[in-house]
Amino acid sequence: MATSPHAQDQLANLTIEEKASLTSGQDFWHTQGIDQRVPPIMMTDGPHGLRKQAGETDHLGLNASVPATCFPPAVALASTFDPELARRVGEALGTESAIEDVAVILGPGINIKRSPLCGRNFEYFSEDPIVAGALGTALVQGIQSKGVGASLKHFAANNQETDRMRISSDVDMRTLHEVYMRAFERVVKDAKPWTVMCSYNKINGVYASENPWLLTQVLREEWGFDGLVVSDWGAVNERVPGLAAGMDLEMPASGGATDAEIVAAVSDGSLDPEVLNTAATRVLDLVSRAQNRPEISGPLDVHAHHALAREVAGRSVVLLKNDDDVLPLHPDQTVALIGEFARTPRFQGGGSSHINPTQVDNALDAFTSLKGEAMEFAPGFTFDGSNAEALREEAVALASKQDVAVVFAGLPEAEESEGFDREHIDLPQVQLDLIEAVRAVNEKTVVVLSNGSVVALPFKEEVPAIVEAWLLGQAGGSAIADVLSGTVNPAGRLAETIPLRLEDTPAYGSFPGAHGHVRYAEGIYVGYRWYDFRDIDVAFPFGHGLSYTTFGYGEPNVAVYSDGDLAISLDVTNTGSRDGREVVQVYVGLPDSEVERAPRELAAFAPVDIPAGETRRVELIVRREDLAYWDERVNRFVVEGGTYRIDVGASSRDLRRQVDVEIAGDSVSLPLTLNSSIGDVLANPVVGPVLQKQMAGMMDAAGAAGTEGGASGDGGDAIMNPVAMQRMLADFPIGRLAAFGMGMDKAQLAQLIAAANGE
């Protein structure tokens, strides 16, 4: 967002006090206006629906907001693996925001799901940055296509709710760049969001809101972000250092207190006035952009947006298991619908993203319309666990006389929300007891889950069918009926691994930290990377999801484009009797890498609709930049040269085809020092041959001395084999050779190093 001439003209006519006032809010949701010259603009919560509060304001979802479409939250939308669908949701969000005269909607949230315990996981996409980046990009592009700004959040390393306003995320640079900031980089570069929201937490001891490395060096100088940085609501620690770091707009209003601090700092010379000018100009640019957006008039087409919410919800459902084709339900089957969630759906998470929906579909009504008298309902349990035995007995009696039992289970709202983290990944015991009892009397038991983050599935081997329905938004009840009846062929895929136990998860033991610090001890091994690297069994792997049809994969072809991107193309055939959608996934690994890597990492994916019996050619693009690792020696991404293994399949552990491709690496030039290894010096084209010749002479002399001394066999005085000696010395600091009398003194070695560095 280049600075507009209008903003520059406005800035020239403002006092220091007026400029400072622009850098904090006017109230809870509006930026500061200045008489008739600068109007205030409104920001509101998102990101899966518009939460515009008309009365009392808050940031915790406590007070009412205007009716809006509650689309499936990110936990569900991610399971579509469909950027185009995400873009359509973004367009709808932008339309609703524009109708309500909202300039910026606060979302999407693209933080990585480090642990399944994070209470806000329902609002985030994935444990994988490629999925989060691709879907986040599409959502932002959709929102902003309607002239409404998006606010990409929460930047950065904000992966828990426990002590979220003070905790320091202590994470190494490679992990931070490769895992936790990679999705942000992609969205910033590809979608150019109007604003980026900095997070509450510290990163390696420095608050995100006053972190110049994060907000200026990385975000602006390295990634090219030219929009406005806004604080999360209440994230400001010290305002003047925050402004200097690149945090432009403090929200909500400070009542003028921090404005006065800025004015005082400029007046006493401790703050460069150009810093204030820059931040004020960015606010003016944002206001100008909001004023110039195309007009979208109401009223909202409530029915059309509800239909879109239903379509997205249906695409989000993941069929985890379907033994003996229990699903879809047959028209002539009788059904026992069991579980309070069927009647009282949990369709969104708690906190700042809580939407006041325009309508809510529940599964009970949807199945009543679908099955009529062939369906009966029993609540099975209450959310508070009361009257458990009687309700279970009623449900079991019903299940025993019907053809199929569909049990709706899940997490009550009190167990996951913004503001606190979960303590376990278990379903309530009253629900587990119900599932066991129903399964005992009906072998065709289907479990449908409603949850914002993964749960343990101890009944996995006992029931024939499991449906992960997440939190599906306001049309979720109808969407579940669509999938279970076969009207919609399930195509959802897991964007996060479902573990067998909490103890198996990557962050177990280091989440959520203590005494103000959380150590990211697992490093780059987040999500499926961890389970694959350690060969840990899981309940269901990342990328998994079944269909009512089957798909066959042809041999892949790989082409390397001139810009270094890879094009993987292959034929995919629907080998079943139903039309369906497959999500083709490409994983990349470098088995002989010189650095730590997971066995494979997702590099590209594509959903493809294929009619029964037909074949579609699928092409997926792997960006060269997504092959790179963060090299801490040079502080940048580097593509390592070598033979990469390309796996194409239906999940991270359902790999159908494999092909190798040779990739040229990036040049990494490091100056040599006396602490460089002998191996590094030998690899230098200038002095490597010189050292090689010197070492060969030393080894020949040592070998001759050993022969004259009669060394032979495996006696203790035998001279080491020259090849073994060279391997042993490969990591030996070259400067230490002088102490061993091996033909070169320290001055000679220093001359060698200087020649290598071109000095």
| Mean pLDDT lowest among 49-53, 121-125, 462-466 | 49-53
**Tokens standing for residue 154:** 């929460």
- pLDDT greater than 70 at residue 5: yes
Greater model confidence, 529 or 10: 529
DSSP H/E element including 175:
helix 173-175
Q: Give the residue-averaged pLDDT of 34-46.
A: 94
Q: How confident is the model at residue 702 (pLDDT cuts 50, 70, 90)?
A: low
The DSSP output letter for 218 is: I
Is residue 666 part of the annotated active site? The answer reads no
Q: Provide the pLDDT for residue 736.
A: 83
Tell me the H-state helices in 500-575. 528-533
Which residue among the candidates 45, 128, 163, 232 is catalytic per the annotation? 232
Q: For the segment 153-184, what is each residue's pLDDT rounded down to a tens digit?
A: 999 999 999 999 999 999 999 999 999 999 99
Q: Which residue has the tokens 């599932």?
A: 435
Alpha carbon distance 101, 66 (integer Å): 12
- Give the number of other Cβ atoms within 10 Å of residue 738's Cβ: 17
| Mean pLDDT lowest among 8-12, 143-147, 498-502, 723-727 | 723-727
Q: Give the residue-averaged pLDDT of 86-104.
A: 97
**Tokens standing for residue 758:** 């071109």
C-alpha torsion 309→313→315→318, nearest 10: 170
Angle at 319 between CA 315 and CA 325, to 5 degrees: 125
C-alpha torsion 746→748→752→753, nearest 10: 30
Q: Provide the pLDDT for residue 57.
A: 67
Beta bridge partners of 517: 168, 514
- The pLDDT mean for the chain works out to 93
Q: Provide the pLDDT for residue 678.
A: 85
SS3 744: coil
Give this prediction's pTM.
0.93
Q: How confident is the model at residue 713 (pLDDT cuts 50, 70, 90)?
A: very low
- CA dist 5 → 14, 40, 225, 288, 567 (Å): 15, 19, 19, 11, 43
Report whether the peptide linkage leading into residue 722 is cis, meaning its omega lies within 30 degrees of zero. Answer: no
Report whether the peptide linkage leading into residue 47 is cis, meaning its omega lies within 30 degrees of zero. Answer: yes
DSSP H/E element including 280:
helix 273-291
Q: Provide the pLDDT for residue 739.
A: 75
CB 351 within 8 A of CB 377: no
Q: For the segment 567-620, what is each residue's pLDDT rounded down to a tens digit?
A: 999 999 999 999 999 999 999 999 999 999 999 999 999 999 999 999 999 999
Would you report the helix, strand and coil content of the chain in percent, each value rounded to 5? Answer: 35, 20, 45
Q: Provide the pLDDT for residue 711.
A: 45
- pLDDT greater than 60 at residue 92: yes
DSSP string covering 378-440, please? E----TT-TTHHHHHHHHHHHHHTSSEEEEEEE--GGGSBTTB--S--PPPHHHHHHHHHHHH
The DSSP output letter for 338 is: E
Q: Provide the pLDDT for residue 703.
A: 58
Q: Provide the pLDDT for residue 726.
A: 67
Q: For the segment 446-456, what is each residue's pLDDT rounded down to a tens digit?
A: 999 999 999 99
SS3 634: coil
Q: How confident is the model at residue 649 (pLDDT cuts 50, 70, 90)?
A: very high
Q: How confident is the model at residue 707 (pLDDT cuts 50, 70, 90)?
A: low
| Mean pLDDT lowest among 9-23, 377-391, 677-691, 721-735 | 721-735
Q: How confident is the model at residue 489 (pLDDT cuts 50, 70, 90)?
A: very high
Q: Give the residue-averaged pLDDT of 624-630.
A: 98
**Chain Cα centroid distance, residue 483:** 26
Alpha carbon distance 316, 340 (integer Å): 21
Angle at 179 between CA 173 and CA 180, to 5 degrees: 80
Q: How confident is the model at residue 708 (pLDDT cuts 50, 70, 90)?
A: low
Q: Give the residue-averaged pLDDT of 353-378.
A: 95
| Mean pLDDT lowest among 4-18, 110-124, 372-386, 653-667 | 4-18
Alpha carbon distance 339, 336 (integer Å): 10
Q: Provide the pLDDT for residue 205.
A: 98
The DSSP output letter for 330 is: P
Q: Give the residue-averaged pLDDT of 292-308.
A: 92
CB 191 within 8 A of CB 140: yes
* Number of residues in the chain: 759
Query: Looking at this protein, which amino acid is placed at residue 694?
Result: Q
Kindly report each contact of residues 328-334 with a partner whose C-beta sits within 8 Å and lies 24 or more positions away, as own/partner. Answer: 328/483, 328/484, 328/485, 328/486, 328/548, 329/404, 329/484, 329/485, 329/486, 332/374, 333/374, 333/403, 333/404, 334/371, 334/374, 334/375, 334/376, 334/402, 334/403, 334/404
Q: For the segment 56-86, what is each residue's pLDDT rounded down to a tens digit?
A: 766 666 677 899 999 999 999 999 999 999 9
- pLDDT greater than 90 at residue 113: yes
